[in-house]
């Protein structure tokens, strides 16, 4: 039996994956392939460039549920997806 949980939420043309495991959590915004997680460092961070996974920016917010809700609200309220705008919200 797996201890991993995964939820999928569709908002417009975006799909949000919310994954939780005993080792951490991740939120993935598709099809943009933007990753927010706390793996490896145990601190929440965003990987804003899907082509350079090593590049990450640490976030002030640390609660995965709060981050997920903020991303959902952003996608529901915005007319487009702007990674810089999203990162400002999460910092």
Q: Please, which residues bridge with residue 61 across strands?
A: none
Residue 81's CB is within 10 A of a number of other CB atoms, namely: 15
pTM of the model: 0.92
Q: What is the pLDDT of residues 5-63, one digit of tens each?
A: 999 999 999 999 999 999 999 999 999 999 999 998 899 999 999 999 999 999 999 99
Q: Please, which residues bridge with residue 18 across strands?
A: 7, 27
Give the pLDDT score at 32.
Answer: 96
Give dist(CA 42, CA 73) in Å, integer: 25
Give the pLDDT score at 50.
Answer: 93
């Amino acid at each position: 039996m797996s201890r991993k949980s995964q939820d999928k939420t569709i908002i417009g043309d975006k799909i949000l994956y919310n994954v939780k495991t005993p080792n951490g959590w991740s939120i993935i915004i598709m099809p943009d392939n933007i990753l927010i997680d706390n793996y490896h460092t145990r601190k929440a961070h965003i990987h804003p460039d899907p082509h350079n996974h090593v590049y990450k920016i640490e976030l002030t917010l640390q609660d995965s549920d709060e981050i997920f809700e903020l991303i959902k609200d952003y996608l529901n309220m915005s007319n487009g997806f702007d990674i810089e705008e999203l990162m400002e919200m999460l910092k």
